């Protein structure tokens, strides 16, 4: 395999779901393979893409389409309108890849590219970075996915739960599938010491500010209870996102003086100052924040969604809230609080399990996986 095209179909923005394909792209390039990266022309082009462009590497923008076609469609009846959805992928005819790697922010966003590859006989694999029980494919999309996914060389998911949910959503097995892992931002073997408990026990919420996915509103509702306001517990929120303004407003609405909104901070700094992680997500893939916390000897108090219960054993190396609702998050946090003197040892168990479960180098793991595909 000498020519590989890496294509992101996530049109919203650059984020954590882009790093696996990005670093694997660099790994293939370093190995002397001919590679091309194709991304949407995001409003804010990330430094990672700017960097590979400035280094002369091959980058295409798959949302660039013909302005003439768009203009013509304004005047043509619907039955005669010109199709420009595939324009952003036509560079593949010239590049002639041995493999197309389709990265999806969710589990359905690459369907048009899958169909394009099947129609034009390009071998491809898919990566699904998340699956959402609240976002069900329409009947039409079900039919399209049911036909396209078996046409892939392999369909990769970041948790067994995401794979299982996708199979339920389309009502059929996806036999050509495998679970992989995303790269993390802490050292696999690190010596970050457990912080001394001074005035407060400190929890970290490490997640983009996006209520519908990450559920910070659930966390705030829990913390608004009088008992949590009166305990020596504080919560630091790290990250940013489309709901940052709303996050600050909700914090003030609940008068959460024990909550600090800190923005983006290096993960190793976060875990140097935090005793545990709390995530009240409504859906996930397998959250990097949880993996990183566990590798640093910090356990998670997390909702029992997606890949979380695949690495958290309730009451052993972390605590699971049965559903993303305030009453269940409160119950899990209460159980954790009742064992606060054990937090350091529970974190050590989390570290041990993460090192056993997660590959030391997820990018090398995925690189070898692609190299060994029987094309």
Q: What is the pLDDT of residues 297-323, one digit of tens each?
A: 999 999 999 999 999 999 999 999 999
Query: What count of residues does the chain have?
Result: 375
- β-pairing, 59-61 vs 34-39, is parallel
Work out the average pLDDT over 285-303: 97
Q: What is the pLDDT of residues 89-133, one digit of tens each?
A: 999 999 999 999 999 999 999 999 999 999 999 999 999 999 998
Using pLDDT thresholds of 50, 70 and 90, give the confidence band for residue 81: very low
Q: Which fold has domain 201-357?
A: Rossmann fold (3.40.50)
Q: What is the pLDDT of residues 273-282, one digit of tens each?
A: 999 999 999 9
**Quick one: pLDDT at residue 74?**
57
CATH code of the region 3-183+360-371: 3.40.50.2000
In the chain, which residues fall in CATH 3.40.50.2000? 3-183+360-371, 201-357
Q: How many CB atoms lie within 10 A of CB 88?
A: 23
pLDDT at 257 over 90: yes
Hey, what's the torsion of the CAs at 136, 140, 142, 143, to 10 degrees? 180
Work out the average pLDDT over 225-243: 96
| 136 or 44: which leads in pLDDT | 136
Name the CA radius of gyration of the chain, rounded. 22
Q: How far is CA 167 from CA 153, 172, 201, 221, 233, in A?
A: 17, 5, 41, 33, 41
pLDDT at 69 over 60: no
pLDDT at 72 over 50: no
pLDDT at 375 over 70: no
């Amino acid at each position: 395999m000498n020519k590989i095209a890496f294509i992101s179909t996530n049109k919203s923005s650059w984020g954590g779901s882009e790093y696996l394909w990005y670093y694997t792209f660099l790994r293939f390039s370093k190995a002397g393979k001919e590679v091309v990266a194709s991304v949407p022309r995001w409003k804010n082009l990330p430094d990672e893409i700017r960097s590979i462009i400035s280094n002369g590497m091959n980058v295409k923008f798959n949302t660039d389409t013909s302005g003439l076609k768009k203009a013509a469609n304004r005047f043509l009846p619907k039955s005669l309108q010109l199709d420009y959805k595939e324009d952003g992928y036509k560079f593949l005819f010239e590049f002639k890849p041995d493999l197309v790697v389709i990265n999806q922010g969710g589990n359905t966003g690459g369907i048009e590219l899958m169909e394009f590859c099947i129609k034009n006989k390009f071998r491809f694999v898919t990566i699904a970075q998340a699956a959402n029980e609240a976002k069900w494919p329409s009947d039409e999309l079900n039919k399209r996915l049911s036909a396209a996914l078996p046409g892939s060389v392999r369909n990769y998911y970041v948790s067994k739960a995401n794979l299982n949910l996708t199979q339920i959503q389309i009502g059929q097995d996806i036999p050509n599938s495998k679970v992989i892992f995303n790269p993390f931002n802490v050292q696999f073997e690190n010596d970050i010491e457990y912080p001394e408990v001074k005035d407060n026990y400190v929890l970290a919420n490490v997640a983009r500010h996006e209520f519908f996915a990450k559920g910070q509103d659930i966390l705030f509702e829990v913390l608004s209870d009088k008992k949590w306001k009166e305990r020596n517990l504080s919560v630091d929120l790290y990250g940013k996102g489309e709901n940052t303004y709303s996050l600050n407003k909700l914090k003030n609405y609940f008068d959460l003086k024990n909550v600090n909104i800190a923005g983006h901070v290096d993960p190793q700094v976060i875990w140097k100052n935090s005793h545990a992680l709390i995530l009240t997500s409504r859906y996930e893939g397998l959250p990097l924040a949880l993996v990183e916390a566990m590798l640093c000897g910090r356990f998670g108090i997390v909702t029992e969604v997606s890949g979380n219960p695949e690495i958290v054993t309730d009451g052993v190396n972390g605590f699971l809230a049965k559903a993303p609702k305030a009453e269940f998050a409160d119950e899990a946090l209460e159980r954790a609080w009742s064992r606060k003197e054990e937090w350091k040892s529970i974190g050590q168990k989390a570290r041990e399990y993460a090192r056993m479960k997660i590959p030391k180098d997820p990018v090398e793991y995925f690189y070898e996986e692609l190299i060994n595909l029987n094309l």
